[in-house]
Structure 1
Amino acid sequence: MTTKAETLRTELRARLPEKLPSRLGVAVSGGGDSVALMYLLHEIAQNEGVELRAATVNHGLRAEAEAEAERVAVQAALLEIPHETLQWQGWDGAGNLQDQARQARYGLLTDWAHRNAVPAIVLGHTADDQAETFLMRLGRAAGVTGLSGMPDARDLKGVTLLRPMLGITRQVLREYLSEAGVEWIEDPSNQDLRFDRIKAREALAGLDTLGISAKSLTRVAENLAQAREALAVFTQESARKVAVVDDGDICLDRSGFVALPGEIQRRLVVGITAWIAGQGYPPRRSSVDQALAAIRDGRTLSVAGCLLIPQGDKTWFCRELNAVIAENVEPLDVWDKRWVLSGPRTPGAQVRVLGEAGLPQVPDWRLLGKPRRALLSSPAVWEGENLLSAPLAGLSNGWTAGLAPETPEFYSSLLSH
């Protein structure tokens, strides 16, 4: 007879990569979901010769948090799993607490992973979390991407985040722990209706009579995820027809772009701005609408750290000058999180934006055929106020500018949006 533990391990393992890394991390808060995850993963790791390591983030927001982290450490020790508590001390009392705590949690976990040579971290998000996310995003009138919910896997700062329990409910996990005699912690904030997620949890509990449950909403999110992937492929194929990469900038054929379906236009704008200005929160829908109108009308516009510049029947996407005006690094360091400039060893050389002071010192920049404002925001090598090189503007002097290794190829990057 198959036990509940065996059934859960089988379902969890099916959502993990076929080949697990030799060292795997697991984030454990002490709550029922993550404690169950640690115990289930422990068996899987032992069977497959994988070294499992655990980490707990203490946000320092509740007096009980330290004792709860110590409790997780004891549970991990019983399983002979190395454990570390990560402390967050970054909240100043301003802004959205849950959002800042979430960002801090991921930052601490990925830093921990790099320190410990852990290529992937398993997270304890469940079907209930997915359903709550769906409801919250539904309330914000999200589109296909938003409603497709949390992915099974994604890359963050070079670390793979895995969510293999998105098809498993909290109730089933707690039943498993109870049968195994394993205790867990109930966070009192899970009853705090000031938080949107808890409101969504309460709303979900009242939808059973309509046949709407965590499981059914998770299936809806999975269906939409498949639709999102199909749209991403079509966006990539469309980009190859209407968008050209030119030294880190993107040049759009305006008529070809305008002829695309509206959803694909939106995805292209979001993908282009993310590739140029960096991954982060995508621009708001209103900002994307403004960008679409600017492309259609041939107008200049600033959006999400990028500048849209019309030129004939084209529209260029480039970095906005004000976004990089203060960037200042040594040669070989990453400038604006995407460029690396290398060349002759020159004591005192610095990489800064070309800007209004530098472009007049580049005699042949017009031969490139690019808009002047696109070149202003490009990286250049300076020695004090003396311009040594502007590789992307046509002044090399033995220097080269290349995209940082972690920067994805543009067309491939569109598959992640």
Structure 2
Amino acid sequence: MQLTHRFAADLAALWPEDERAGPLGLAVSGGADSLALLLLAHQAMPGRIAVCSIDHGLRSEAADEVALVERIAATRDIPFTPITVRLAPGNMQAQARAARYAAVADWALAAGLGAVATAHHADDQAETLLMRLNRGSGLAGLAGVRARSTIDGSDVTLLRPLLGWRKAELAKVVAAVGIIPVEDPSNTNPAFDRARLRARLAEADWLDPVQIAASAAHLAEGWQALEWYAELDWHEMVMREEGDAPGFSYCANVPRIIAIETIGRIIRELGGHVSRAEVARAWDRLWAGENASLGGVLAVPGVERVEKVGVMMRVWRFRPEPARGRVN
């Protein structure tokens, strides 16, 4: 009962009762983490959850794992939906993740769910943060997985109420009711970076995944503040310019990390697609007084008097590149 109250409080912090316009959907794989999510949610809000399980077609055992989740849901009268997705050749892990979330979003909308929850926990968050630190990720990446967000390409609310829970705690929840969870072999396959890091973390008992996950949450709050400032920068310092070649002028007067967000938005508005790293390199050129080309857009720096503030400022102009001179 204590664990149920704890889960209910964690969920309410992300999804208050007065915001709940439908049942909570759970994406459950059959592993201990997601089965614990199912059990805790069922105890905390009986009759107000639904479950889906996804077969990516990558392992022969996947169909049996979906069937396991279906049986567990059926014994508790929880609505269950099996989902099958098929992937094209390529980066299977990235494709599987994108296809999984897209399928879950479609399911949530079709079923009239109020939100969807996944079973990411503190150990997952710690692994994500350390992996991204090792890759030199920027602040957006170091914020880790968000406790509350939306599924890409949709308005479906995505919740991760277990980010303060340890993997071992969740395993005990499942063991307590006599369920034997499935084990995904990729979780221990040293061919994957995460599996190698997981093995090293298990040896480093001086590291506290809950505290590392808390640091990721603090970084997420910092990133949220920067996103707020970038939105303000967009509305106050970016002006649309019409003419034969419509574009934007930007009074670049904010720290680099915020300008990167604003420039990226300008490029998207002009139909381009760029990474933050590409925008960062373009900012460096513009700050040095050099033209920059990215995403099919030409950016030209200058300094001029800005009437709305009455002072000289850096003003950068962005226009689609002429087809003949476009740099890919």
- The secondary structure found in structure 2 opposite 1:221 is helix
- The secondary structure found in structure 1 opposite 2:45 is helix
Distance 2:101 2:290 in 1: 40
- Match status 1:165 vs 2:162: yes
Q: Deviation string for 1:301-335 (max 9, x for gaps)?
A: 132xx51343876544466787xxxxxxxxxxxxx
Amino acid at match of 2:177: A
Amino acid at match of 2:138: G
- Match status 1:79 vs 2:76: yes
Aligned residues: 308
- Structure 2 counterparts to residues 201-280 of structure 1, below 5 A: 201-209=198-206, 212-245=207-240, 251-253=248-250, 256-257=251-252, 259-274=253-268, 276-277=270-271
Distance 2:208 2:301 in 1: 52
- Match status 1:3 vs 2:5: no
Range with bigger deviation, 169-178 or 294-303: 294-303
Residue of structure 1 in register with 2:21 after alignment: 21
Residues 148, 311 of structure 1: alpha-carbon distance in 2 compared, 3 angstrom cutoff = closer
Q: 1:128 aligns with which of 112, 117, 123?
A: 123
TM-score, reference length from structure 2: 0.83
Which sections of structure 2, spanning at least 5 residues, go unmatched?
305-314
Distance 1:321 1:98 in 2: 38
Which sections of structure 1, spanning at least 5 residues, go unmatched?
323-355, 357-372, 374-417
Amino acid at match of 1:307: V
**Residue 193 (structure 1) shift:** 1.0
**Residue 162 (structure 1) shift:** 1.0
- Match status 1:307 vs 2:297: yes
- The secondary structure found in structure 1 opposite 2:116 is strand
Amino acid at match of 1:121: V
Residue of structure 1 in register with 2:44 after alignment: 44
- The secondary structure found in structure 2 opposite 1:101 is helix
Q: Deviation string for 1:2-47 (max 9, x for gaps)?
A: 633433443344333343222321101011111111111122332x
Conserved 8 A contact 2:256-2:283: no
Amino acid at match of 1:114: L
Distance 1:99 1:270 in 2: 23
Distance 1:178 1:163 in 2: 22
**Quick one: percent identity of the two aligned structures?**
31
- Structure 2 counterparts to residues 287-326 of structure 1, below 5 A: 287-294=279-286, 297=289, 299=291, 301-303=293-295, 306-310=296-300, 314-317=315-318
Distance 1:9 1:192 in 2: 34
Q: 1:283 aligns with which of 270, 275, 278?
A: 275
Residue of structure 1 in register with 2:106 after alignment: 111
Distance 1:91 1:238 in 2: 40
TM-score, reference length from structure 1: 0.67
Conserved 8 A contact 2:4-2:43: no
- Match status 1:70 vs 2:67: yes
Distance 1:26 1:225 in 2: 23
Residues 320, 59 of structure 1: alpha-carbon distance in 2 compared, 3 angstrom cutoff = farther
For the pair shown, the structure with the greater C-alpha radius of gyration is 1
**Residue 232 (structure 1) shift:** 2.1
- The secondary structure found in structure 2 opposite 1:244 is strand
Question: Structure with the greater relative contact order (CA < 8 A, sep ≥ 6): 1 or 2?
Answer: 2
Amino acid at match of 1:260: V
Residues 161, 11 of structure 1: alpha-carbon distance in 2 compared, 3 angstrom cutoff = closer
Residues 319, 192 of structure 1: alpha-carbon distance in 2 compared, 3 angstrom cutoff = farther
Distance 1:269 1:201 in 2: 37
Residues 318, 37 of structure 1: alpha-carbon distance in 2 compared, 3 angstrom cutoff = farther
Distance 1:9 1:107 in 2: 27
Distance 2:227 2:103 in 1: 30
Distance 1:142 1:207 in 2: 23
